[in-house]
């Protein structure tokens, strides 16, 4: 039997330690092809390249025997997946994994995440997909304690599949070097960012801004991703890309939108 073909991507760039850690685990499971941005693309959400040229080239990052085929891409994470599926792969991947992101993509962060947008792009095309994130923004973050959980989730996904229209958003807690306590299936916590802009002036007198802010958790539930992460568990949130608020349709149908004025 053929090994499963695994498409690996991210938003931190093709040399990011989190991506290299993810590749190392995926090589134990199947045949790996990497298509990742040539530079960091964090916070890009589901942006795609429309009014600029898009470049891709084969690169050699890992020179060890059995290293996977890798491509760098000048575009966004969503671009990487589009290009991989339409141009670069010689067969359809069995799964797409994105990450491991340097930093959390839990709760409301999923909206802005390039990591998750890459997974969602694969899901839109019918490819089972998972986004992985470690709640540690450091470039030297320790990914080792989380890797057995990453492997287990991918193996289970390949065995059982993911419901149509859904991708998995997996977040891993930052620990002191010990593995997480386990895995919990969760819902996305209600939260928001209390945003501020730090206004500054350049040496030439031009005003500019740095976005800052504080994460505000609005949810006390014990079934959320934020609760799981705070208590040392890996959170797995099934995430849909149909943004329709189906429960509001009956209410809107009561509006008098079609009555003549």
Structure tokens at 207: 């005003």
Q: Is 140 annotated as a binding residue?
A: no
Phi/psi for 122 (5° steps) reads: -65, -45
**50 contacts 82 by C-beta, under 8 angstroms:** no
Of residues 164, 131, 159, the one with CA closest to residue 236? 131
Q: Is 42 annotated as a binding residue?
A: yes
Residue corresponding to tokens 């390249």:
49
**DSSP line for the chain:** -PPPEEEEE-SS-TT-HHHHHHHHHHTTTSEEEEEEESS--TT-TT----SS---EEEE----STTPPEEEEESS-HHHHHHHIIIII-SS--SEEEEEEEES---GGGGGT-HHHHHHHHHHHTT--EEEEEES---TT---GGGHHHHHHHHHHHHHH---TTEEEEEEE---SSSPPS-EEE-BPPPEEEEEEEEEEE-TTS-EEEEEEEEEEE----SSBHHHHHHTT-EEEEEEE-----GGGHHHHTTS-TTS--
Q: Is 176 annotated as a binding residue?
A: no
Q: Is 106 annotated as a binding residue?
A: no
Binding residues: 11-12, 42, 101
Binding residues for a divalent metal cation: 11-12, 42, 101
């Amino acid at each position: 039997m053929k090994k499963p073909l695994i498409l690996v991507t991210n938003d931190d760039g093709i040399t990011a330690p989190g991506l290299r850690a993810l590749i190392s685990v995926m090589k134990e499971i199947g045949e790996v092809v990497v298509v990742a941005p040539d530079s960091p693309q964090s916070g890009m959400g589901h942006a795609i390249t429309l009014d600029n040229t898009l470049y891709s080239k084969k690169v050699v990052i890992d020179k060890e025997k059995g290293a996977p085929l890798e491509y760098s891409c000048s575009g966004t994470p969503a671009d990487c997946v589009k290009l991989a599926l339409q141009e670069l792969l010689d067969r359809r991947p069995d799964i797409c994994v994105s990450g491991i992101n340097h930093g959390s993509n839990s709760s409301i962060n999923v909206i802005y995440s390039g990591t998750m947008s890459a997974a969602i792009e694969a899901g839109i095309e019918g490819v089972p997909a998972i986004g992985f994130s470690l709640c540690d923004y450091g470039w030297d973050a320790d990914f080792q304690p989380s890797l057995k959980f990453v492997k287990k989730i991918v193996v289970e996904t390949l065995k059982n599949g993911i419901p149509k229209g859904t991708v998995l958003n997996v977040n891993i807690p930052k620990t002191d070097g010990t593995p997480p306590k386990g895995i919990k299936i969760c819902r996305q916590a209600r939260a928001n960012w209390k945003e501020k802009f730090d206004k500054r002036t350049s040496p030439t007198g031009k005003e500019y801004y740095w976005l800052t802010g504080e994460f505000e958790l609005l949810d006390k539930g014990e079934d959320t991703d934020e609760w799981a992460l705070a208590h040392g568990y890996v959170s797995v949130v099934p995430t849909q890309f149909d943004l329709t608020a189906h429960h509001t349709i009956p209410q809107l149908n009561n509006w008098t939108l079609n009555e003549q004025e």
